[in-house]
Structure 1
Amino acid sequence: MSEAKGIIKHIPNTITCMNLFSGCTASLMAIEGHLVEASVLIIIAAIFDFFDGLAARALKAYSPMGKELDSLADMVSFGLTPGLIAFGYLKIAVLGDVAVNFNPSELSFSEIILLLSAFIIPIFSALRLAKFNVDTRQTTSFIGVPTPANAMFWASIPLVLHLGKYPVIESLVSKPIILIIAVAITSLLLVIEVPMFALKVKSLKWSENKLRYSFLITLIILAVLLKWLVIPMILFVYIIFSLIDNYQIKK
């Protein structure tokens, strides 16, 4: 019996390690210029990230080590990898090709700064995760956009461009200034002092999950209307619903 309990308590951490493995592989894909594959692996990492918490609650296998391991895995999967995807698109915008090697000796100072600005995302992701670990206000909700939500936004760009023809999006990601603005905005959203609702559910009752169900229904409707374009919109819909929830709470 004790052996079974010992195995059970390691299940959530094992799932977290699968999140980390997916994140490491995603980072490798992004470095090699395979941005679509990196995006798919971010989604896989997000699935593992959801289920490790679910497993911990279901099995009552909480541990301080599990909490720290989860943050470290998230830093790779949802901090470093989206930064590398942004770096890849900046290489396309600045150097003309994601496959071009980053050689500082062949680049101007401004080009180096432009390219390295992508790593503002991992920096602010680290700040976000560190803040979450010590902030007692974030037990049932979040303060600022969670790192997986930000990572999903950056993962959505290669996926949308791969799945359909969207000249407007192609044009936007080809402009360095647009990419820099996107990096700055999404990074600041990670640490902004605005409450964001959590998707974690304790029951399936409508009365306890009105906001979450409404959020999912809205995404389904947008998916029908906009098809693949709904993917990058998920982050903004999430923020809008969080602001609506904040207004209702204050009211």
Structure 2
Amino acid sequence: MKQHIPNALTLLNLLCGSVAVILVVDNDFITASLFVFLGIFFDFFDGFAARKLKVQSELGLQLDSLADMITSGLVPGIIMFKLLSLTVHTSDKVNNEWVSNTNWLDFNLPILPLLGLFITLASAYRLANFNLDTEQQSYFKGLPTPANTLLIMSLPLIIEFQNNDFINAIILNKWFLIGLTLLSCYILNANIKLFALKFENWSFKANATRYIFIMLCVVLLIVLQFAAIPVIILLYIIMSILDNLTSK
């Protein structure tokens, strides 16, 4: 019986991701974000449960990646598609070199927003590599897909809840979104060693980087709210690089 518990949690992750896809397509980013957070929660605890119950399996590994492909691969790609669509529809130069409406099956499809789906492709490539890489047990190589999803998901939340004209203008700038899409695709598959939030023991000395990171995350979230998420992702990468240098 206990061997089914981690897989059940993984399927809950998949369910949350599937619901989030429907909500994002319907432009309900707020409710979608709740399901994304729930999905990432289940994604974290399915592995934790498998290790604690000692029921890790190849099936669980494959199922976990399939669930992540929806919650942390398809969802951020569609969110970026939606954000880029806003820059197309609000632009005064609808027929400029970046926008081409092609009539496919009797509906107009703007080409530029499709660039957002490159995040989905890069996520799929990362997850496939992760399944084949036996080294990534205590660390990650490249940004994990859930972290990347939180980064992309934070953009509509910042617009909705913090409503700062200057920040909104940056987020809804097509060049910013294009640059972030390309950066996201790169960092997902970059050969950069990033620490994992897995505690083998509770010693501060052995987990100093993790403890400091968590404390800084709490402070940043209190001060900056949703705007803290991009800062936290940047902090995660910087602290990982520094940790790698000091460990050498």
| Same fold flag (TM > 0.5) | yes
Three-state SS of the structure 2 residue aligned to 1:206 is coil
Identity %: 37
Aligned length: 235
Measure how far apart 1:135 and its partner are.
1.2
How far did residue 235 of structure 1 move? 1.1
Partner of 2:116: 118
2:41 corresponds in structure 1 to 47
Q: How does 1:30-69 map to 2 (within 5 A)?
A: 30-69=24-63
Which 10-residue stretch deviates more, 187-196 or 28-37?
A: 28-37
Larger fraction in helix: 1
Corresponding residue SS for 2:194? strand
1:27 matched residue in structure 2: 21
- Give 1:102-113 correspondences, 5 Å limit: 104-105=102-103, 112-113=110-111
> What is the CA–CA distance in structure 1 between the aligned matches of 2:199 and 2:139, rounded to whole Å?
11
Residue equivalent to 2:132: 134
SS state of the match for residue 74, structure 2? helix
1:184-216: per-residue Cα shift (whole Å, max 9, x none)? 001100000010000122222212211110101
Name the Cα RMSD after superposition: 1.7
Offset at residue 220 of structure 1 (A): 2.1
Matched residue, 1:77: 71
Task: Measure the CA separation in 1 of the matches of 2:215 and 2:40.
Answer: 20
Runs of 4+ in 1 over 3 A off after TM superposition: none
TM-aligned CA deviation for residue 231 of structure 1: 2.2
Structure 1 counterpart of 2:215: 217
Distance 1:37 1:233 in 2: 23
TM-score using structure 1 length: 0.89
Aligned counterparts of 2:10 and 2:4: Cα–Cα separation in 1? 10
Residues 13 and 39, structure 2, Cα contact 8 Å, conserved in 1: yes
1:38 is displaced (CA, Å) by: 1.8
Q: What are the equivalent positions in structure 2 for 1:194-205 lying under 5 Å apart? A: 194-205=192-203
- Runs of 5+ unmatched residues, structure 2: 92-100
Q: Which one of 188, 191, 204 corresponds to residue 190 of structure 1?
A: 188
CA distance in 2, matches of 1:225, 1:169: 16
CA distance in 1, matches of 2:110, 2:142: 29
Greater displacement, 76-85 / 151-160: 151-160
Give the structure 1 partner of residue 81 of structure 2.
87
The Cα of 1:232 is off from its aligned counterpart by: 2.4
Deviation at 1:230, TM superposition (A): 1.0
